[in-house]
Amino acid sequence: MLRSVLLNLSTAKWSRRLATESSLARRVASRFVAGETLPDAIRAIRELNARQVTATLDHLGESVVMADDAVRATEDYLGLLEEISKADLCANASLKLSQLGQQLSLDLCAVNLRKILDRAKQKGIFVRIDMEDSTCVDPTLGLYEQMRALGYDNVGVVIQAYLYRSQQDVEKLLSEGTRVRLCKGAYKEPAEIAFPNKRDVDKNYLALAKRLLETSQAARLPADPRRCIPPLAAIATHDERIIRAVAQYAREHNIARDQFEFQMLYGIRRDLQETLAAQGHAVRVYVPYGTEWYPYFMRRLAERPANLWFFISNFIRR
C-alpha cells in the first residue's frame, strides 16, 4: 500500500512542485543524489574510486515531451563522457531512452543514442541503457538490438526481475553476449505482468542471477584490470540475503570474482559496499545527478521503508 502511494506521488505534479520548492526535501534527497551539477557527480565518483569502488553515472531526466529537450539531454551526455575521460575515472554511463526522445520518435531516439555510443566508444566507455516501466521494455530492447546490429559492443541493458517475461528476455540477451544488469524493479506494475509478492520477486531474482553467473563463467570475457568496464553479470541489489546467496553460489561453482559485480545505489548501504569491496568483490555504485531528481528520489523511498524513515527522521529533527 505504502509503495503504491509513493509511486503514485512520483508522477504527481503537485507533489513534485512541493518537494522541489522545499529546501528540506532537497537536502534529504542529497543522500541519494550526488548533486545538481556534473562537477558534483565527478567529485562523488572520485571518492568512490578512492575506496576501490567503480561507478555508473546517470544524468537524471526521463519522459521528455519536446525534441529540443531530448537533444539537450544528448549534449549533456556527450559532456558527461568527456568529463569521465578527462578525469580518468573508473566509471561508465547509464541513461534512460525516454530522456533521449523514445516516446516522441524512435528514429530521433536512435540518432541521439548513436551520438552517445559513438563518443563513448571513442573514449573507451561503456553505456548502460536503463529499463523503465513495462510499456518501455519492447522499445528499449528493440533499440538495443538495433545498436548491436550496427556494431556497437559498448552497450548493455537492464532487466527487472519482477516482470514475468524477464526469464525469456534474459535467455535471449545472454545468447547474444549482452552485459546485463539485473535489478528487482522500481515501477508500479499490474499483477497481470509482474509478480505482486516480494517473495516471488526475490525467488525469480535469485534464479536469474544464477543464470547470469553461469553464462558469465562460460563466456569468460576478458577481465578489465581496473574493473572500469562491467562484466557480463551485474547483480544490482541491496538485499543482503540475496547477496550472500549469490556469493555462495559463485564460490560453489568456482565462478571467478572478475566475472560478475555487485551494483548498488549512491547513498544506500555504503557499509555493505565497503565490506564487499574489502572482500575482493567488484562493486559499482549508480551515481545520479541533476535537477530532475524528484521522480528518482520518490522511487528510492518506495523501494525501502528505511529510506522513508530516514526522510521522516530528518523532518522531525528539523
**Active site residue ranges:** 130, 181
What is the signed CA dihedral for 205, 207, 208, 214, rounded to 10 degrees? 140
Give me the residues paired with residue 157 across strands: 129, 180
**Whole-number Å distance between alpha carbons of 102 and 90:** 29
Q: Which helix H or strand E contains 281, and what residues bound it?
A: none
- In the chain, the amino acid numbered 264 is M
Other C-beta atoms lying within 10 Å of the C-beta of residue 252: 8
55: β partners:
91, 285
Residues present in the chain in total: 318
Where b means 16+ CB within 10 Å and e means fewer, 267-279 reads bbbeebbeebbee
Q: Are 28 and 298 in contact (CB under 8 A)?
A: no
Neighbour count for residue 315 (Cβ, 10 Å): 12
CB 214 within 8 A of CB 259: no
CA-nearest of 182, 110, 181, 183 to 152 is: 110
Show Cβ contacts of residue 176 under 8 Å, excluding neighbours closer than 6 positions: 148
For 91, phi and psi rounded to 5 degrees? -155, 150
Distance CA 292, CA 16 (A): 10
- C-alpha cell read off for 105: 520518435
